[in-house]
């Protein structure tokens, strides 16, 4: 190859490399612009979510005041003594107003909790899980008919936000008590075991109507309801539970292999113990109560 030919080939190589570099610069600029657009989209989505949460909180608070008035007047009508018999249907109508107001109040509380959980300030500390379950069981035993049987193993001291963990366990125990064949008393058991990574696995098992096939993941979705109207609810209870557990750094799921009813399990951080294992808060308990 002559010098002239070598020079021409080198010049062509330089032109080719320059063209490729120019194309690469254009592609990099397109990629940079695409990433910038994505970042702006993400920021807008975060802003929209924040605005929706604020809106949900504001609306929930605003609805509470008039609802309190409705509920208060319904209570007054229920116990009103006018000196003569109420007209036909009066008691049923007032009771339905009370029930509807109660459901609305629960829905507002659930929306408020759901909207505020992710950005709420955590106040973490040790939580005696056994004492918490005992407290919730006492409330359930005094308010539920037929009276449920609630038992537990020795439970550990965990670490978390007390208000969130209380709401979490209240929802889970409430579901286990509620979803039983109509007229039957619920049987609920709470167990826990350390899983070796500084967390504890908590299981709430019942002998109720169970979870339909294909629903074990869907039951944690917002507003999802797969049960008949005979079981009241708004579809937010387990969604709130999932949001709380994630906020506290754990996971929650339904056991698809459990056949005797439903079993929900979750993981939460353990309170550090002075020795191997976990700190047990109290002895096993069988809360089997009957009406006196």
Quick: pLDDT tens for 4-31.
555 565 566 666 766 777 888 888 888 8
Instruction: Read off the tokens for 98.
Output: 């009370």
Supply the pLDDT for residue 66.
79
Q: How far apart are CA 108 and CA 98, in angstroms?
A: 15
Global confidence as pTM: 0.67
Burial of 264 (0-12, 13-18, 19+ CB in 10 A): buried
Instruction: Read off the tokens for 208.
Output: 């109720």
78: enclosing H helix or E strand: helix 3-78
Q: How far apart are CA 241 and CA 239, in angstroms?
A: 5
Supply the pLDDT for residue 229.
65
Closest CA to 271 of 170, 194, 172: 194
Q: How far apart are CA 135 and CA 139, in angstroms?
A: 7
Instruction: Read off the tokens for 268.
Output: 């939460």
Closest CA to 170 of 200, 143, 135, 146: 135
Assess contact for 170 and 106: CB atoms under 8 A.
no
The SS3 of residue 176 is helix
Supply the pLDDT for residue 283.
47
For residue 277, pLDDT beyond 60: no
Domains of the chain: 1-116 (1.10.287), 125-288 (3.30.565.10)
DSSP-assigned beta bridge partners for residue 17: none
pLDDT category of residue 70 using cuts at 50, 70 and 90: confident
Assess contact for 239 and 117: CB atoms under 8 A.
no
């Amino acid at each position: 190859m002559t010098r002239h030919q070598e020079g021409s080939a080198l010049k062509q190589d330089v032109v080719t490399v320059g063209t490729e570099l120019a194309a690469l610069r254009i592609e990099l600029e397109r990629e940079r612009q695409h990433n910038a657009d994505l970042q702006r989209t993400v920021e807008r989505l975060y802003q929209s979510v924040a605005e929706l949460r604020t809106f949900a909180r504001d609306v929930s608070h605003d609805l509470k005041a008039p609802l309190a008035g409705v509920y208060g007047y319904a209570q007054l009508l229920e116990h009103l003594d006018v000196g003569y018999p109420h007209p036909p249907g009066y008691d049923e109508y007032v009771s339905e107003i009370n029930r509807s107001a109660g459901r609305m109040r629960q829905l507002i509380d659930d929306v408020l909790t759901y909207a505020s959980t992710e950005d709420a300030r955590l106040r973490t500390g040790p939580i005696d899980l056994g004492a918490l379950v005992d407290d919730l069981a006492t409330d359930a035993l005094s308010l539920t008919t037929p009276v449920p049987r609630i038992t537990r193993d020795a439970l550990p001291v965990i670490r978390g936000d007390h208000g969130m963990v209380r709401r979490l366990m209240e929802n889970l125990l409430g579901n286990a008590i509620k979803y039983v064949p109509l007229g039957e008393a619920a049987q609920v058991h709470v167990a826990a075991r350390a899983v070796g990574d500084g967390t504890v696995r908590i299981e709430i098992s019942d002998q109720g109507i169970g979870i339909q096939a294909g629903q074990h993941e869907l039951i944690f979705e917002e507003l999802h309801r797969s049960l008949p109207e005979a079981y009241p609810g708004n579809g937010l209870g387990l969604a709130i539970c999932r949001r709380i557990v994630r906020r506290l750094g754990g996971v929650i799921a339904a056991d698809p292999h459990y056949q005797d009813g439903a079993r929900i399990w979750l993981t939460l951080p353990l309170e550090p113990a002075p020795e191997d294992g976990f700190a047990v808060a109290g002895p096993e308990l069988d809360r089997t109560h009957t009406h006196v």
